[in-house]
Every structure is written in C-alpha cells, then in structure tokens.
A and B are shown apart, each in its own frame.
Chain A
Amino acid sequence: MFDLDGWQEIFQSIGKNKLRTVLSGLTITFAIMLFTILLGMGNGLKNTFKSFFSRDAENAIFIMPNNTSKAYRGFQSGRLIEFRNHDIDYILENYGENIDYIIRRNQRQVDITYKNKKSNYSLIAVDPEIQFLERSIPFDGRFINKSDLRKKSKVIAIGRLTEQDLFPEGVSAVGKYVNVGGLAYKVVGVFSDPGGDNEERLNYIPITTAQSLYGNTDKVDQINILYSSNLSTSQAVDFGNKLVIDLKDRFDVDPRDQRGIRVMNRAEGIQATKQTSGALDMIVIIISIGTLIAGIVGISNIMIYIVKERTKELGIRKAIGATPGSIVKMIMFEALFITSIAGYLGMLIGMGILSYSAPGLEKYFIKDPSVDLGIVIFATVLLVFAGIIAGYVPAKRASKIKPIVALNDD
C-alpha cells in the first residue's frame, strides 16, 4: 500500500514539524489517558462497593431478638424477646420453600487454652450449615457436621488464626484437645475464611452441645437464614419483610418497633449496591464519552489547522508533480501514524498512573482500579478514526485546490 519511500517522506514531515506533531499527539494522548484513568477510577469505586458485600454469602438474612422499645398489646416496653428451637420449626413450616438453610447461632466470648497458651475468642454454637454462610473452608480436618449435632459431641472447628495463636508452628491442631472455658473439646478441623482476620479467629461448636452444656436450654440468640437462590433480589427483600412482620406478630412486638426483633437482609444491600453501581456506571459512561468527544473535537481542530498551515507546501508538491491522491494519502498516513502512537502512549500512561496510584487510592474507596483493555483500545481506535476523518475532509479539499491558488496562499 505504501512503500518505504512514502514512509520516509512521512517520517521526515513528522520529525521536522515537531510542534505540529506534538500538538496533535498530545491531544490524543491526553484524551486516552484521561479516559483510561476515569474509567479505571470508576471501576475501582464499583469494586469497593461490591467488596463490601462479598465476604459472606450474599443471600443471607440475620434475625436478632432484643428488648422491645414500645409497649404493645398490653406488654410493657423493654421486654426481652427470645427465640427458641420451636421458632425455627415455625419458620421452616411456613416459609420452607424460600429457605435453603436455617441456622441457629449462639455466640459468647470464652478463653481457649492449649497447653500453656491461652487467649480470648468468640465461640459460636451453630448448625453446621453456617459454613455456607460464612464461606468457611476447612483446609485441615473437617467442619462440624450433622452427626456432631446429633451426638451433641464436644468438638470444635477453629479458625486458621486461632490455630496459629495457640499451637506451635508445624503442629496440626486436628485431633488435639483444647480447653474451652473449662471444658475439653476435640479439634476436628481448622478453616480459613475469606472475611479476613476477624473471621479466622472465630471457633464453631455444635449448637446442640452448647444448648445442653450451658444451661440446658433451647434458647437461640440469633437466627441466620440463607434464602433460596431461586429468589430474585426483590423477592428476597419481600420475603424478609414478610417474615419480620410475621415474627413481630408472633412475639407481640409493635410492627413499628425497630429494636424488639431486628432483621438484616443482605438482599436490601444487594439492591442498594446494584442501584449504586448502576448510577456509577452511568456517571463513568457519561464522563468517558465526554472525554472522548473532547478528544475528537480537539484532534479535528488540529487536523484542520495542520492542513491549512500546509496549503502552500501542498501547492508546491502539486506543482512539481504530486497527484491529489498522493497528497491525501500523505496526510492520512501522517495522521494515522501520529494518532496511533499517541493513543498507545496515552493508554500506557493512563494504565501506569492507575497501577502506580492504586495502593494510595484505597482510602478513597477506590479498590483495584483497572480498565478493560478492549474498551481502551476501542476508544483509541475511535480517536484515531476521528483524526483521520477530520484530516481527510480538509486534505481532500486541499488536494483539489488549484496549485496556483495554494501557491499564492501565505
């Protein structure tokens, strides 16, 4: 399409007209750089929002009883609401089709001792399905299971960091006995948890063991539900609302009482996240398109200026035998070359700035800012294309001017 000589001609023109080259190049570089950075920051913000909700299972509802704050149906305010095992059965009976797992959860702080090492930990008595909610992964031994629950075994699954705290390096906790608040429990497994340090110092025992050992009650501190994955986010929100109204009625709690029975529904968070990240998407898209349009306008102006500035040169070239086609081709290829290189440069700089500044941006809720390479390349191609189109029109016109007119242009 273009011989070596043609390229040499273009390189000379580019190299000898540095201001022109730098001007047109900078426009593109800057536009692509801004585009990359803005897009990356936007993605970073979105990542932050998403990460807020990804530590535990997303389809979780937490129900916590407490003291009422309003008098209702003849009861005084300040009455303590308590769940019991049969409340679990009630929920399953009425809402079973919406529920994958329902988990009883009693939590207390205890000292756990192994040999001479001792520390204070959260001890959580639960149904084994808590594993699906917390996303705990046993990497040594196993998690507590149904059989432990049935036998009311004195077994414990400890967090990775609990093991690290209490056991010497290289010694597996599995099979050892630890002293939990004065009672010996056998460690059946050590788990890791994506929730981070805090959740890797949790320790789980079967709820039945706790209920029989500590006071022989059937009290339940907290009910966790993993709602069915078949539910849409809005259905899950509805389900949560319906459940809490029903439970408030069952326990004679004023429907307006925010304390007596508290419900945290992840679905609401997801809904909010979806809306927020949708809004963020819109903002990022608008800003990105704005940046690109600014870039397109910029490169178009510069191309028109360049061709105007070169009118006389083009006239000389025509007088000594350049065909109109060769004139257009020369300008097009120059534009193509400069804008491609400049766009690539802008992409590199933008990505460089993103990855360089990423660690410092976490405190501004921008996490792991990165861009889809395809989108940036698309933007670059768009600008290059705009530059070429913007150059083509005046170049075509210049190539049609009678050389004598072009020569008289000063």
Chain B
Amino acid sequence: MTSVKKIRDIKKDQMIVFKNIHKSYPMGKESLHVLKGLDLHIKEGEFVSIMGSSGSGKSTMLNIIGLLDTHDAGEYFLNGQLIEKLDEKKAAMLRNKFLGFVFQSFNLISYKTALENIALPLYYKGIGRKERNKIAFDYLEKVGLGDWANHLPSELSGGQKQRVAIARALVTQPKVVLADEPTGALDSVTSTQVMELLREIHEEGMTIVVITHEEDIASKTERIVRLVDGKIMSDEKVNKKVEM
C-alpha cells in the first residue's frame, strides 16, 4: 500500500490515528519496549482519557501524539497527515498549529507574566504584539483570570497556574489539547475546577486527550482508554450524552 492510499483509508473526522505504534527506549545495552503495537482512533471533538499505572506507557503515548517524541514503528496520522521523518522545525510548526499542551508541572516561564505566557505561542506563530496580547487577554478572561494578567507564575496558586497553562494551550486555536496529568499537582477541589474547565472547552468542540492515573479524573471524560504494559487493555465510552 502506498501512503497516499493509506491516507484515503482514514476518515475525515479522525483526528488521531495510531496504527501498530511501537516505541522502545535504549537502557544501556538493553532496550525497554514501552509501546507494543498500539492501535487507536480518536475522532474530532472527543474527550478522551488515557489511564494506566506508571510505566504503562501512557506518557510516552502522549509525547508521541504531541510530537514531543518520535515513534519507532507503525503509523501515526494527526489530522489526516502522516507523521514521519519530522525534523525539529517541522515538528515545532505542527505543534504550534495543531497542538496545545497542559502539563502536570504547568511549565510556565517564570519571568513572564500570566498574559505574556499565554501570548508566547502567538509570538512563535508570528502574530504582532498588540494583537497577541489582545487574544491572550481574551483567553485569560475565558479561564477566569482577567484580573491576574500581570502576575508572575510565582504569584499564582496551583489551580490558577494550570488555568493559565490551559489558556496558553488554547490560544493558538489548536485541533487537539493534550493534558499530561493536568491535576496531578492540585488538590481535589481545584482538580474538579480544572476538569470542569476542560469539559467546557470540550463542549465548544475541542478534541481533548487527558493522561491520568486517577479514576475520578478519568470518569469526568467521555471515553477511557486503559493501557497496561504498553498495550491497550480496554477502550470504553462513558458519560456519553443521550442525545448524541
């Protein structure tokens, strides 16, 4: 099969397609086989959680989806586009265009204010300063932090930082938001608020993939994919609204 034909195989509404994805990490002379042939389809607009204990390969999977890492074998289509032989520059552009990241440790730049952190992806997109500050402020208000625009990350609570990070993930209007343990560093009340925020964003049509090891976080999404030892053990729909 040619790759052109493969692309034709993929339906238009498939956002993320994994076909027999393998990934190993060299560990000295040995190599650690982390992903052992994953097949996964995520449609546009889905709210998916990927669950698994530590070492199950869920973070590796998210990194591959997020183009932060490369896979060894198999095929990965993002928004219908085959991902192969990506150099860093292309990967950076695709990330900027299609993907928004939310990390467990927030990963805000410490010397930039909330507003500047949110505006940064727009800078790399080549949008002018005034314009990007305006857009960034809109998103800051969207996550309810309009009054905190000029505060540094060190002046924000954990929940606020994560909301800034979510705003930053959204500001480029990506196709997919990838959240790696977004509530891992937060208390349960704040966690619930963050998940609520993600749900709202999802309801506006955004595809969201959340990595977590907590059942109650996963249960707030609409589909749970369970990974065990580098393989998908189960894939079930939950909370699916009746009218859909």
Contact = CB atoms under 8 A, between A and B. Distances in A.
A320 B95 contact: yes
Given A319-B68, A321-B172, A9 B95 contact: no
Interface string B107-132: 11111100010001101110011000
B92 A318 contact: yes
B92 A323 contact: yes
B92 A322 contact: yes
Say which size band chain B's interface belongs to.
Answer: 20 to 34
A404 B105 CA distance: 13
Interface in A254-297: none
Contacts of B116: 12
A191 B68 CA distance: 87
A402 interface: yes
Interface residues of A, number: 28
A325 interface: yes
Interface string B61-85: 0010010110000000000000000
A317 B116 CA distance: 12
B101 interface: yes
Contacts of B121: 320-321
B93 interface: yes
A357 interface: no
A324 B129 contact: no
Given A17-B111, A404-B69, A319 B101 contact: yes
B95 A321 contact: yes
Interface string A220-247: 0000000000000000000000000000
A403 interface: yes
Given A316-B107, A320-B121, A320-B168, A5 B128 contact: yes
Given A5-B123, A5-B129, A326-B124, A400 B88 contact: yes
B109 to A, nearest CB: 6
B190 interface: no
Contacts of B172: 321
B89 A9 contact: no
B interface, over-half SS: helix
Nearest to B152: A16
A11 to B, nearest CB: 12
Nearest to B87: A324
Given A8-B129, A325-B89, A319 B107 contact: yes
B24 interface: no
Contacts of A107: none
A345 to B, nearest CB: 24
Contacts of B191: none
B112 A12 contact: yes
Contacts of B124: 317, 320-323, 326
Contacts of A13: 111
B96 interface: yes
Interface in A5-58: 5, 8-9, 12-13, 16-17
B89 A324 contact: yes
Given A402-B69, A403-B68, A323 B107 contact: no
Contacts of A9: 123
A407 B181 CA distance: 14
Nearest to A319: B101
Given A321-B92, A323-B88, A323-B93, A404 B123 contact: no
B103 interface: yes
Interface in A301-352: 312-313, 315-326
A203 interface: no
A402 to B, nearest CB: 6
Task: Name which of A4, A17, A316, A399 has the most chain B CB atoms within 10 A of its CB.
Answer: A316
Contacts of B168: 320
Contacts of A8: 129
12 contacts: A5-B128, A17-B111, A318-B88, A319-B68, A319-B101, A322-B92, A323-B88, A326-B124, A399-B88, A402-B68, A403-B68, A404-B63
Interface of B: 63, 66, 68-69, 88-89, 92-93, 95-97, 101, 103, 107-112, 116, 120-121, 123-125, 128-129, 168, 172
Given A319-B95, A320-B96, A320-B168, 20 more contacts: A4-B129, A5-B128, A9-B123, A12-B116, A16-B112, A316-B109, A318-B92, A318-B95, A319-B68, A319-B101, A320-B95, A321-B93, A321-B96, A321-B124, A321-B125, A323-B93, A323-B124, A324-B92, A326-B124, A407-B68
In the A-B complex, the 3 residue pairs with the closest CB atoms: A321-B96, A16-B111, A321-B124
